[in-house]
Every structure is written in structure tokens, then in C-alpha cells.
């Protein structure tokens, strides 16, 4: 993947190719005249890949990394984001579609609930443009293509059912005035780009969410889940789709009828008691990934020293194996959700 200003972007060559066509489109040229040429050019360079459901994804510099998983770009949108959010049952849901990319998640959302309104945030205009040029087998793709056409031609005025913000989500989030029922969090993995997984960004998201709203991410990373808990979310394990670990669901003040599934006992302990649970931080929402990772590394050292001085340090191995004070294990036996368990264990650790 390509880094620009500390943010990870899709493949540089692909973006360069697409940019040439954006310029032609903005000058008024008809998309149908060149979209096949654009697709052919990306395919010829092995930059566009057909996934198992027949929809396309973009490749990165590192051939192992794609924008979507191989099980299918559209399938991912449906199974990892739309179905777990229970969108179908919602009345006029307001969705924040973070890292919209080729708009698969947004199109899938419209397909399952035509009454949803969506704020889309994507920092890379090229991938949004690509969405207009590929085939996505849902009728709602036509609605999205029309929206994107107006966006690229500068014909978007005022608030609409679908709004597109082409910038770093950290900048956009500060300006949004809406409150959301559903957040699709579809950034690249925190190991490669942590900027949208920090406690500080998640706190901002939390502020913009309604009560009983839901945030969904395919990432099950420990520092991310830890940050969700610290930001106030009630976390729940989702199904694993095309991966070993389940997706992560975060609720804001969930209603009593929400079915919450605990994350693994090991993960609860790692989040609460080990330095692996130290979240990524970006207080002013402007650091690069490298700065965030370095700061977290230093914070882990500080935490270890503090716990050692209190006689409460447990190695990651001990935490994983549960070779810790029984008082912590007793908390895990309580009939509480994972966030409540983690907060209680943290309280005990710090007492
Ligand atoms: C995994 S892909 C998302 C795929 C997308 N949801 C779809 O349906 O096609 C991640 C996307 O996040 C975008 N991105 C990365 N960092 C970002 C940031 N800080 N703000 C906004 N978008 C970002 C990338 O350009 C990329 O398109």
C-alpha cells in the first residue's frame, strides 16, 4: 500500500491511471467512451482483481494486500457490514460509511434498506471514481453512479440522502453535524494504518452516534477493541467471515434486547491487564501511522514499568494462560458483557 501524509492509500500506479480518466470526465467527456479502456488498462497492469463473487478489488504494491478480501468485495459489504447491522429492520437509518472506497458497503446498504441515508467518507477520489466504471450487480449501483457523477461534475448542493466527503475521515468527522444509527468502519488494518483506530478518533465517532447505535469493523485487533471499550462502547463478538477471528461490533448504550456476545476470555484479559491492550492515541487527530505506533510502544513501556513498581505486572503469556490473581478470573465469571468485565478488571488492576 502507498502512504501519503501518514495515511495508507491504494496502489500508486492504479491511482495514477485512474487520475487521467478523472480529468477527462471533469472536462465533460462521456464515461461510456472510456470506462472499458480504463478497466482494461488496470487489468493489463494486474492492478484490478476479480474476487470470488465476480466483483472487482484493487491490488496494492504488495501483491498480498487487496482492498477487499478474496471472498468477494460485494459479499464482504453484505456479510460483514449490512447483515450484522440489521439494517433491513431499521426505519430510515442514518449511516456513516467510513472509508467508502468503491462504495460496495454503501450500495449493499441501499440494496437492503432503500430508506437509509448515507454520509460517505473516502480520502481517495480515484477509488470513488472507479466505482462508476465497474459493474456491481445491484440496481442501487445506478443510484450511486448518478450521485458520483454529480459529485465529480461539482453538481452536489446542500444535504442529501447520500453525501460524499472526499477527505481524511479525521478532518471530516470534526465538521459533521449528523448523528448516526450505524457506522461502517472499513479502514485498512490497524497494523498497517492505525489512524482511524485510535481512542481519540473512536471517541469522536461515539459523540456522533445515537443511543442504541452500532459500529461495525472487520478488525478484531486487541488495541482497537481496547480503545472501543475506553471510548464507551459495549463490544460484542460478531461472526467470522472469511477469517479466523470474529468481526467487532460496538454499541453505544445498547437497548436491553440487544444480543451481546462476549469476546474470548483471553482477549478480555489481554485488553484489561496486558500492555497489548494499550490503545493507539492521536489526541489532535493529526499524527502519522508511524508516530502513533511509536507513541504506543513508549506507552507500553511506561505501563510495564508502572505495573512492575506496583507488583502487578503480568507477562502476555501469563495473561493468555490465565496465570493471574484469582480475583481477575472471578470477575470473568460474572454475568456481564465484555466491556463491563474489562472495566472491572482494569479498576482492580489500578486499585
Ligand atoms: C478497505 S478499503 C475500503 C473498501 C470500501 N468500503 C468499499 O466498499 O469498497 C479502505 C479505504 O479507506 C480509505 N482510507 C484510508 N485512510 C483513510 C482516511 N484517513 N480517511 C478516509 N479514507 C481513508 C482508502 O483510500 C481505501 O479506499
Among 188, 216, 232, the domain-final residue is 188
Taking only the tens place, the pLDDT of each residue in 268-307 is 999 999 999 999 999 999 999 999 999 999 999 999 999 9
CB atoms within 10 A of CB 298: 10
Q: Is residue 301 part of a domain?
A: yes
Contacts 24+ apart (CB under 8 A), 85-92: 85/182, 85/184, 85/214, 85/216, 86/214, 87/112, 87/113, 87/116, 87/182, 88/112, 88/113, 90/116, 90/181, 90/182, 91/115, 92/116, 92/117
Q: What angle do CA 245, 250, 251 make, to 5 degrees?
A: 145
Which atom of ligand 1 is nearest the CA belonging to 195?
A: 19
Among 161, 188, 215, the domain-final residue is 188
Residue 331 is part of which domain span?
267-350
Distance, CA 341 to ligand 1 centroid (Å)? 32
Instruction: Check whether residue 181 and residue 77 sit in a common domain.
Output: yes
The pLDDT score that the predictor gives to residue 6 is 62
Instruction: Check whether residue 282 and residue 181 sit in a common domain.
Output: no
Distance CA 172, CA 156 (A): 17
Q: Is residue 184 part of a domain?
A: yes
Q: In this structure, which residue's CA is closest to atom 11 in ligand 1?
A: 99
Q: In this structure, which residue's CA is closest to atom 24 in ligand 1?
A: 9
Taking alpha carbons only, the member of 276, 284, 315, 270 closest to residue 190 is 276
CB atoms within 10 A of CB 250: 28
Q: Is residue 254 part of a domain?
A: no
Distance, CA 60 to ligand 1 centroid (Å)? 13
Distance, CA 7 to ligand 1 centroid (Å)? 10
Q: Is residue 20 part of a domain?
A: no
Q: Is residue 259 part of a domain?
A: no
The pLDDT score that the predictor gives to residue 192 is 86
Distance CA 271, CA 278 (A): 8
Q: Is residue 49 part of a domain?
A: no
**Helix ranges restricted to H, the chain:** 12-26, 31-44, 73-76, 83-85, 104-112, 125-133, 140-152, 169-175, 199-207, 222-231, 265-273, 289-310, 316-321, 326-332, 338-350
Q: In this structure, which residue's CA is closest to atom 10 in ligand 1?
A: 187
Instruction: Check whether residue 272 and residue 183 sit in a common domain.
Output: no
Distance CA 15, CA 58 (A): 10
Only one residue has cell 494486474, namely 46
Taking only the tens place, the pLDDT of each residue in 94-129 is 999 999 999 999 999 999 999 999 999 999 999 999
Strand duo 117-121 + 94-98: pairing: parallel
Q: Is residue 43 part of a domain?
A: no
Which atom of ligand 1 is nearest the CA belonging to 77?
A: 8
Contact 46, 56 (CB under 8 A): no
Q: Is residue 23 part of a domain?
A: no
The pLDDT score that the predictor gives to residue 156 is 73
Sequential DSSP letters for 2-20? EEETTEEES-HHHHHHHHH
Distance, CA 128 to ligand 1 centroid (Å)? 10
Distance CA 199, CA 110 (A): 30
The CATH number of the domain holding residue 126 is 3.40.50.150
Which atom of ligand 1 is nearest the CA belonging to 68?
A: 1
Instruction: Check whether residue 177 and residue 85 sit in a common domain.
Output: yes
In the chain, pLDDT over 70 holds for what percent of residues? 95
Distance, CA 124 to ligand 1 centroid (Å)? 7
Among 167, 188, 209, the domain-final residue is 188
CA distance readout (Å), 349 to 98, 134, 232, 304: 35, 52, 19, 12
Q: In this structure, which residue's CA is closest to atom 26 in ligand 1?
A: 101
In sequence order, the 6+-apart residues with CB closer than 8 A to the CB of 5 are 168, 288
- Give pLDDT < 70 ranges for the chain: 1-7, 61-65, 157-158
Distance, CA 122 to ligand 1 centroid (Å)? 6
Distance CA 9, CA 173 (A): 19
In sequence order, the 6+-apart residues with CB closer than 8 A to the CB of 207 are none
In sequence order, the 6+-apart residues with CB closer than 8 A to the CB of 131 are 101, 102, 103, 144, 145, 148
Residues with CB under 6 Å of ligand 1 are 7-10, 67, 77, 99-105, 121-124, 127, 168-170, 186-188, 193, 195-196
Domain count, the chain: 2
Amino acid at each position: 500500500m502507498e502512504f501519503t501524509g501518514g495515511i495508507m492509500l491504494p496502489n500508486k500506479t492504479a491511482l495514477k491511471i485512474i487520475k487521467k480518466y478523472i480529468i477527462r470526465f471533469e472536462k465533460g467527456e462521456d464515461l461510456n467512451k472510456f470506462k472499458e479502456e480504463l478497466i482494461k488498462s488496470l487489468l493489463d497492469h494486474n492492478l484490478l482483481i476479480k474476487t470470488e463473487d465476480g466483483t472487482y478489488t484493487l491490488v496494492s504494491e504488495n501483491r498480498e494486500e487487496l482492498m477487499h478480501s478474496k471472498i468477494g468485495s460485494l459479499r464482504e459489504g453484505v456479510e460483514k457490514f449490512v447483515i450484522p447491522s440489521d439494517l433491513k429492520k431499521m426505519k430510515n437509518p442514518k449511516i456513516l460509511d467510513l472509508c467508502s472506497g468503491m462504495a460496495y458497503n454503501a450500495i449493499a446498504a441501499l440494496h437492503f434498506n432503500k430508506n437509509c441515508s448515507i454520509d460517505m467518507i473516502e480520502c481517495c477520489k480515484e477509488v470513488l471514481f472507479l466505482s462508476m466504471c465497474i459493474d456491481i450487480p445491484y440496481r442501487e449501483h445506478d443510484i450511486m453512479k448518478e450521485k458520483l457523477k454529480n459529485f465529480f461534475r461539482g453538481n452536489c448542493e446542500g444535504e442529501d440522502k447520500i453525501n460524499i466527503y472526499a477527505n481524511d475521515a479525521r478532518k471530516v468527522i470534526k465538521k459533521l453535524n449528523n448523528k448516526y444509527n450505524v457506522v461502517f468502519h472499513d479502514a485498512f488494518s490497524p497494523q498497517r494504518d492505525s489512524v482511524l483506530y485510535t481512542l481519540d478518533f473512536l471517541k469522536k465517532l461515539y459523540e456522533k452516534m445515537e443511543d442504541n447505535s452500532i459500529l461495525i469493523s472487520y478488525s478484531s485487533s486487541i488495541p482497537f477493541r481496547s480503545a472501543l471499550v475506553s471510548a464507551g462502547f459495549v463490544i460484542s463478538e460478531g461472526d467470522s467471515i472469511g477469517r479466523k477471528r470474529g468481526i467487532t461490533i460496538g454499541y453505544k448504550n445498547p437497548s436491553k434486547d440487544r444480543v451481546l456476545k462476549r469476546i474470548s476470555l483471553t482477549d478480555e484479559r489481554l485488553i484489561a491487564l496486558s500492555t497489548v491492550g494499550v490503545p493507539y492515541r492521536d489526541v489532535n487527530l493529526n499524527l502519522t501511522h508511524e508516530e502513533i505506533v511509536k507513541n504506543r510502544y513508549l506507552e507500553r513501556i511506561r505501563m510495564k514499568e508502572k505495573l512492575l513498581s506496583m507488583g502487578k505486572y503480568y507477562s502476555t503469556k501469563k495473561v493468555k494462560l490465565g496465570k493471574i490473581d484469582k480475583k481477575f478470573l472471578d470477575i470473568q465469571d460474572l454475568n456481564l458483557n465484555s466491556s463491563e468485565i474489562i472495566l472491572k478488571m482494569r479498576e482492580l488492576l489500578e486499585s
